[in-house]
Chain A
């Protein structure tokens, strides 16, 4: 996507705006098709965001997470180049 990534909040807001615009009946055919396409992409984005917080609680401890990240960090003994 060329445009900057939207937050969930922004996506929901834009989706509501699109539905309002379509409701107004002022959009021409081309705009209607464009808006519908954009709306579908937004629904998709929102569903993906919701899915991220619906797939079961994941709990990690900071110490373990940092340890894991340090192992993966470039510049570690395995990654020396």
Chain B
């Protein structure tokens, strides 16, 4: 590299050779690295992925890491079982440094070129993780979160996740599937580097300090176990275990459980599932079933009162003294019922109407695909509540026949015994005379 080609002049005052064209320098670097002595190294494998011709992974231990590459035909020739190269497996590698100089359109890259490979046993990191898991379990820290009650329909949900992660979209999709449109408090934190665990811990503490937050999702879209170690942090896991708000973990690794999965109230495989675990009902369905409850309450209330009236009628047919006594009771009870029902229905009705107006206004103000269904459900609730009002029945064309004492006349036989009766309509009373049978 001692004869610089025609190019720009160097930096004034800098006493170094060059400037050389970068491509020439890069290929010299490749040659230099390939000339470095070949050795054996050991550590734990993480994040194995394949291209057409090569397999890539990282070899790590507590103090550092090396990006590695091996030709696929060389790897295949080793005849390893399919799942032998899982994250955390300890390997001994033979090889040396290599450099791909790249081009105008391809990125350059450094890697340790692996010429041979041997599996040496379960990784230290995983063993360490297992020890911590056992310890937390023995301290009973897997239990407290499981004893917390998960609300069926939380109003406010806290979410800890990466700001740009796909997890965020997945959670929103899951909530949308439930038709849930409450309040989300997002706490964005890094989810994979060495700052992750303390930041996640802090976010969890702050969310749980907010009274309104009823459940917290901790989500991450996936990744290698090495990246998931943030979710195995001892302080983080101890914090989760002691929170008063249920935590739903969705750290997204199908084969290995992170420690947060063990201490959380619920562990889910995907952020979408986590959203569905936090809101366990479909909101439009709940509206529909509430409307059905309102209707059946109304039906039973009317049926119940009708049964009582028939029973009182039967008592009224008992002769003599009993008849008079029962009639007196009946009068009294009828007056009481009318008075209290009148008061109650009037008050209830006004209240119901007011609420219906408020609810209807809210429903109309809100946008979204469920609006129409919700409006129908609300209308059904309001109609069912109106239907329970005797005045509403009379407004449909019914009248109550009363004798001169104001007691209801409920049969033709009773009517024949009267000379005069009163017909009570929704808008007032009319006197009437009973004609003797022809």
What residues make up the interface of A, taking CB atoms closer than 8 Å to B? 7-9, 12, 15-16, 18-19, 22-23, 25, 27-29, 32-33, 36-37, 39-40, 43-44, 46-47, 49-62, 65-66, 69
| B382 closest partner in A (C-beta) | A47
Q: Among A56, A59, A62, which residue has the most Cβ atoms of chain B within 10 A?
A: A62
Q: With A40-B352, A57-B181 known to touch, is A33 a contact of B287 (CB < 8 Å)?
A: no
Cβ of B166 to closest chain A Cβ, rounded Å: 17
Could you tell me the distance between the alpha carbons of A32 and B203 in the complex, rounded to whole angstroms?
50
Number of B residues, CB within 8 Å of A: 56
Contact between B182 and A53, CB atoms less than 8 A apart: yes
Shortest A18–chain B CB gap in Å is 7
Are B185 and A65 neighbours in the complex by a CB distance under 8 Å?
yes
Cβ-based interface call for B158 (8 A): yes
Using A32-B301, A56-B181 as known contacts, list a sample of 12 further A-B pairs with CB atoms less than 8 Å apart, ordered by residue number in A. Answer: A9-B152, A15-B293, A19-B297, A29-B305, A29-B337, A32-B305, A33-B340, A43-B297, A62-B203, A62-B207, A65-B210, A66-B206
Contacts between chains A and B (CB distance < 8 A), count: 136
Contact of B181 (CB < 8 Å), options: A16, A29, A55? A55
| A65 contacts across to B, CB distance below 8 A | 185, 210
**B51-59, B247-255, B321-329, B366-374 - the one binding chain A:** B366-374
Given the known inter-chain contacts A29-B304, A55-B366, please indicate yes or no for A62 contacting B206, CB distance below 8 A.
Answer: yes
A40 touches B385 (CB 8 A): yes
Classify the secondary structure of B's interface with A: helix
Task: Determine the chain B residues whose CB is within 8 A of the CB of A69 once the complex forms.
Answer: 210
Whether B181 lies near A36 (C-beta < 8 A) is no
Contact A54 B374 (CB under 8 A): yes
Name B366's contact: one of A47, A54, A59 (CB within 8 Å): A54
Chain B window 171-215, contacts with chain A (Cβ cutoff 8 Å), 1 for yes, 0 for no: 010010001111111111000000000000001001100100000
B45 is an interface residue with CB less than 8 A from chain A: no
Is B265 an interface position by the 8 A CB rule? no
Specify which chain A residues have a CB less than 8 angstroms from the CB of B105 in the assembled complex.
Answer: none
Task: Tell me the bound Cα distance from A36 to B389 in angstroms.
Answer: 12
B280 to chain A, nearest CB (A): 9
The 8 Å CB contact of A62, one of B187, B359, B388, is B187
7 sampled A-B residue pairs with Cβ under 8 A: A40-B294, A43-B385, A44-B355, A50-B287, A54-B363, A57-B184, A61-B188
